[in-house]
Amino acid sequence: MNAEQLQTHWALILASAAGLLLLIVAARHFTRTSARGQLRRTRKMLERERGRFRKAIAVVDKAERQKMRLMQRADRVKPRVLNESSEALADAKALAKIAGDRVLVAENHLRRVILEEFPPTQHERLRNRYLPEPDRDKKPFTF
């Protein structure tokens, strides 16, 4: 391409660049709003929330260990420190509950996407694949 062609076809070159940009935006919009795109997005959100829940559980475990350590030495520890560890444990449990609730919301959102965007013949397969049920106790009910 030489300078003369560039000078005579500058408008065509700019229009093709703008058209390519619009084509990319339209393709991205189509992939995001398609059924598979929505499923992919909600699965990522669910995994992110599950990760946050795992981290919150780890914080609760750490706070419980810290409180137990302080309770074993309660006669040598300041009451303020014991109180702070109890408050930290309560805060961690509250945050873990919130994170657990967010996981439930994300799971329900994924169920809604599966039910609304996919045909009924695929519902069971998709739910089994992306929303496995936690293992229940196989024991019969006992007192």
pLDDT, tens only, 27-61: 888 887 788 899 999 999 999 999 999 999 999 99
And the tokens for 68?
């137990």
d(CA 84, CA 66): 11
pLDDT, tens only, 96-141: 999 999 999 999 999 999 999 999 999 999 999 998 876 666 677 6
Which residue matches tokens 């039910």? 115
Give Cα separations from 71 to 58, 63, 75, 135 (angstroms): 20, 12, 8, 35
Say which DSSP state 131 is in. S
Is residue 82 pLDDT above 80, yes or no? yes
11-15, 23-27, 87-91, 104-108: least confident range:
11-15
d(CA 120, CA 127): 11
